[in-house]
């Protein structure tokens, strides 16, 4: 069964110049999680492609602590 993962796209808030650095949400998207994936390479590739299609440059992703989203994708 294919699982759809909801991702929020964030960017670092440039007005914060000292730790803790915070991100602000700028967009969101959904992506299919692959059934088999060696070290998460295919999933990361899908996230990079989704970001690219929305004219964002992928930086990294992590689990999201917000309810309603599975992952947080940080972009430049």
DSSP 42: H
What total number of domains does the chain contain?
A: 1
Instruction: Tell me the per-residue pLDDT of 16-72, one tens digit each, with 9 for 90 and over.
Output: 999 999 999 999 999 999 998 889 999 999 999 999 999 999 999 999 988 999 999
CA 57, 61, 64: angle at the middle one, nearest 5?
Answer: 130
- What per-residue string of b and e applies to 39-58 under the rule 16 or more CB within 10 Å gives b? eeeebeebbeebbeeeebeb
Q: What is the C-alpha to C-alpha distance for residues 75 and 60, in angstroms, rounded to an integer?
A: 7
57-60 contacts, C-beta under 8 A, 24 or more apart: none
Residue 8 belongs to domain spanning? 3-75
DSSP 41: H
State pTM to two decimals. 0.89
């Amino acid at each position: 069964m294919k699982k759809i993962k909801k991702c929020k796209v964030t960017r670092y808030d440039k007005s914060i110049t000292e730790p803790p650095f915070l991100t602000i949400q700028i967009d969101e998207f959904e992506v299919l999680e692959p059934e088999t994936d060696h070290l998460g390479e295919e999933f990361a590739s899908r996230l990079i492609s989704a970001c690219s299609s929305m004219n964002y440059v992928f930086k990294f992703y992590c689990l999201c602590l917000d309810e309603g989203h599975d992952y947080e994708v940080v972009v430049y």
